[in-house]
Amino acid sequence: MKITIIQPDIAWEDKKANLNHMQNLLENIPADTHLVILPEMFTTGFSMSTEALAETPFSQTNTWMTSLAGKLNLGICGSLIVKENNSYYNRFFFVSPNDKSAFYDKRHLFSIGGEDKKFIRGNTRAIFQYSGFRINPVICYDLRFPVWTRNRNDYDLLICVANWPESRREVWRTLLKARAIENQCFVAGVNRVGTDPEGNSYAGDSMVINPKGQVIASIPEYQEGIASTEISLQELEDFRAKFPVWKDADDFEIL
């Protein structure tokens, strides 16, 4: 499967500008891309203005994603602010070219930034299948919690979409590699660049990592851009068979 990661600057709380910008960036992706990954809250930036910015499920942004997925014959994913049953969620959406979809609500809300005051946390992992891969999506702060992302032999690719600040960029890069190594999986971490009115700067550091912790695709820091790479399910299965760490893993339950 060929995946393409997109590292954009995000216009603050301007959905129209961001959707237009993402569409322009998508024009430059390889024609044989199977899956495109956009950052966390790619239509708004990491805003707590939930009342003004939230969408109902399967509305404006989801319609845009569905249209592009069909037009370009690929899967597309990223997170946005969603209102459902009078509650707000930081929701990861995935849409396939045949109009199949999946979603995941962020479990670990960034309480330091007040996200827990505005959003309801999700309580379930949402592993879905696409192009032969079992995919586990997480959002930004989730990356810090290895129990939540622990591979129980149930996924092959971990996707983390983020608005991860420059001040903690070394943590971001280290955790992405750690999650790949400990879970024997591919990891795609997609972040933004630029600044926001909250005083945060973003370096990007978007990358794809193989199960050995090696970076196999990346986008230059502080720059908008795209990067593509092939990931092989056979390569992953061969590695797991040759070095079956998963057989010695501890059993546990998530409450």
The 10s digit of each residue's pLDDT in 106-122 is 999 999 999 999 999 99
Average pLDDT, the chain: 97
Catalytic residue among 140, 160, 177, 185: 140
Is 255 among the domain residues?
A: no
102: which residues sit within 8 A by CB, 6+ positions away? 93, 94, 126, 128, 137
User: Exposure pattern of 53-62 as b/e (b: 16+ CB <10 Å)?
Assistant: bbbeeeeebb
Is 65 among the domain residues?
A: yes
Handedness of CA 235, 147, 190, 43 (dihedral sign): positive
Mean pLDDT of 220-247: 96
Mean pLDDT of 3-8: 98
Beta bridge partners of 80: 91
Mean pLDDT of 143-149: 97
Q: How confident is the model at residue 15 (pLDDT cuts 50, 70, 90)?
A: very high
Catalytic residue among 40, 77, 160, 185: 40
Number of domains in the chain: 1
The 10s digit of each residue's pLDDT in 41-72 is 999 999 999 999 999 998 999 999 999 999 99
- With contact defined as beta carbons under 8 Å apart, do 220 and 212 qualify? no
CATH number at residue 237: 3.60.110.10
pLDDT at 255 over 80: no
Is 9 among the domain residues?
A: yes
CA 31/CA 92 separation, integer angstroms: 24
Mean pLDDT of 82-91: 97
- With contact defined as beta carbons under 8 Å apart, do 188 and 159 qualify? yes
Model pLDDT, residue 6? 98
- What is the DSSP code string of 162-208? ----GGGHHHHHHHHHHHHHHHTSEEEEE--EEE-TTS-EEE---EE
Is 253 among the domain residues?
A: no
Is 137 among the domain residues?
A: yes
Catalytic residue among 15, 77, 106, 160: 106
Is 134 among the domain residues?
A: yes
Is 254 among the domain residues?
A: no
The 10s digit of each residue's pLDDT in 216-229 is 999 999 999 999 99
The 10s digit of each residue's pLDDT in 198-210 is 999 999 999 999 9
pTM of the predicted model as reported, rounded to 2 decimal places: 0.97
CA 63/CA 40 separation, integer angstroms: 17
Q: Is 77 a catalytic residue?
A: no
Q: Is 40 a catalytic residue?
A: yes
Q: Is 51 a catalytic residue?
A: no
- With contact defined as beta carbons under 8 Å apart, do 44 and 9 qualify? no
CA 204/CA 192 separation, integer angstroms: 5
Range of the domain at 144: 2-248
Q: Are strands 133-139 and 75-84 parallel, antiparallel or unpaired?
A: unpaired
Model pLDDT, residue 71? 95
Model pLDDT, residue 251? 85
Structure tokens at 236: 């992953």
The 10s digit of each residue's pLDDT in 176-190 is 999 999 999 999 999
Is 201 among the domain residues?
A: yes
pLDDT at 99 over 90: no
